[in-house]
Structure 1
Amino acid sequence: MKILITGIAGFIGYHLAEYLATRGDEIIGIDSINDYYDVNLKYGRLVELGFNNLKIEYNKIIISAKHPNLSFIKLNLEDKIKLEHLFAEKKFDYVINLAAQAGVRYSLINPNAYIDSNIVGFINILECCRNYPVKHLTFASSSSVYGLNSKQPFSTKDNVDHPVSLYAASKKSNELMAHTYSYLFGIPTTGLRFFTVYGPWGRPDMAFFIFTKAILENKPINIYNYGNMKRDFTYISDIIQGIVKVNDNPPKENKNWNTMDPDPSSSQAPYKIYNIGNSKPVELMTFVKTIEDKLNKKAIINLLPIQPGDVPSTYADVTDLIETLDYKPEISVNDGIKNFITWYRNYYSI
């Protein structure tokens, strides 16, 4: 397979590229390497992938020394002309779109970044898939789309029209845009609602990373909603396995789709939405305790009110994932945090 991965220098993109390149697929990765968080971590991921010459020029292809079937191009999704040239030249079989402006809280500060990357960038991807047809477009959505929903576990069969952050709204928009292109142009598209991904090489703006760093530095950690939070923490390898299974199985039209009682997760077009989560919500204080245990060090805790854009609980219903693809995430938080702490200590020489 010839696969385009966008956001290859990101947390999930890095792990996915490593997996698929090792499997033997031809991988072309793009990333803008923006400075939303520490670019050294992004470059570190690229080095791990075998891109040793990090004097990266914009729109110039470099080949991995580790995987000859893996190449990288620094490129913005908003750059429609150069993106179209790339599609025309490479003639991709599959596209996995992971590039996005991430972060719920940052969307309160810099909303335009979400429109540029998550809306403009995504329409450019869709247009390229339309004009240079691919077998399947898989794209990252988010559990954040469930917004004000309180019925749990969160099901892809439920309506998600009440987001509580612009980030979530942009991801919901991606799902709607993808469906439109599936319906109009027959492009098989699948959206993946990821639930609180964590693990080695993770994002430093996420709780597991922030907590670990603060505890080791004897600094306090902020626990919102006075600790009354639950998250469906999902380990990175489970996410990668889910993406690969989905990518390898493009959706087909749902022949039983009912226009009088429409299922939001499928369509009469080749379109599908899946949750990818561990389906075992963990109390945030239990999560902190697990980090404390693995570090053998106590946290200094500040209990604070819930923040705008946050939701108190997430919990994935993965019935469709099991029934359609015979797959369910399974790595425990205990094992996942252990692996993350080991990586963290090695990477930062602690």
Structure 2
Amino acid sequence: MEKGYSLTVKFAPYGTEYLEEDGSISRSIGHVWYEIRKPGVQQPESFGWSTGDDKNKGGEDNLKREDWFRYRGKNINSITVEISKDQYDKLMKFPSEAISGRVHGFSKNYDLITNSCIDFAGKALGAANLAHSDFDGKAASPYNQLGTFLEQIAKNRNKDAALEVLYKGEKYVFGANERDIKKFKETFDLAQSIGLEKFDINHQTQYVQTAPELKFTDMPPLAQELCQKCQAKLEAYYQKHNIHYSQDGLERAALAAGVAAYGEKMTDLTMLNIKDGNIYVGHKTPQGVLNYASVNEQTAAATPEQDSIAQSKQAERDLALAAEQRRQEILAYQQSQSMGRSI
């Protein structure tokens, strides 16, 4: 692989300073974009997706090439990975494909919910084989995408490709071919970026030890309902397939799986299956969309009740924060359209 080519994905939080074309400073509602560099050239090629100047135009009007210097501040997180010339070329080509509507699952018109800057950057990773082909981030604010993007990049980067993360002003350098981000999670506090439901048991236990004693009734009501339904379905599954289980293990596993479903914004739980050592729970919406979550069966059965309850409380806070950020984004978007300016 020819050296000197790199990709950087950047994550700006709500309130990041933004340099307007007239020289004034405004505040961003949050943004994700990517920058690519080639050997011998210091200034990056920068690509981001925005509302544009006219919501009726779409395409080129939504593409921004100056995010690399317009977004300013030390609170911008980033992932930088070494890439090949072929990947560089694909990332250079991707924006023209996106603005012409030739990217599967991506529209040439900006949409805050379904076709945002997060979707744009995620699809670009897929085009360069740095993520699975349908990757488009997760349902959260731009700033809270770092963990999700990092999992894909770490797993799919080229052999021996350098990888480093800048998180809250601290740098973490991955080892050669280090694919798992477990050590990174242990080093940095990523409760917002990755989600406590994905932390290992040791980290979860440490978290719970600093918290007050929690009861099942302390969980959000919807989380309680999902856990109860999960326990009934898990018990029925074990009995149907003649699988030996302990009552304590069953209850802990159901609690962990129910909390995972709550974290994925499920409003009901109608399906449960076990495959390859993982418990899968899901629900199909009236629109035919299947929402699902999964946990490792053995890990879930060993997870203390306190850990799962604490995770449900954290998930409740995360969902409330994401909803408020989304509300602010929609408000800012509506204001920008009325003022004739882009976000």
Q: Considering only CA atoms, is the larger Rg found in Structure 1 or Structure 2? A: 2
Instruction: Tell me if TM exceeds 0.5.
Output: no
Q: Name the TM-score class by shorter chain.
A: under 0.3
Normalised to the residue count of structure 2, the TM-score between the two structures is 0.26
Higher relative contact order (CA 8 A, sep 6+): 1
Normalised to the residue count of structure 1, the TM-score between the two structures is 0.26
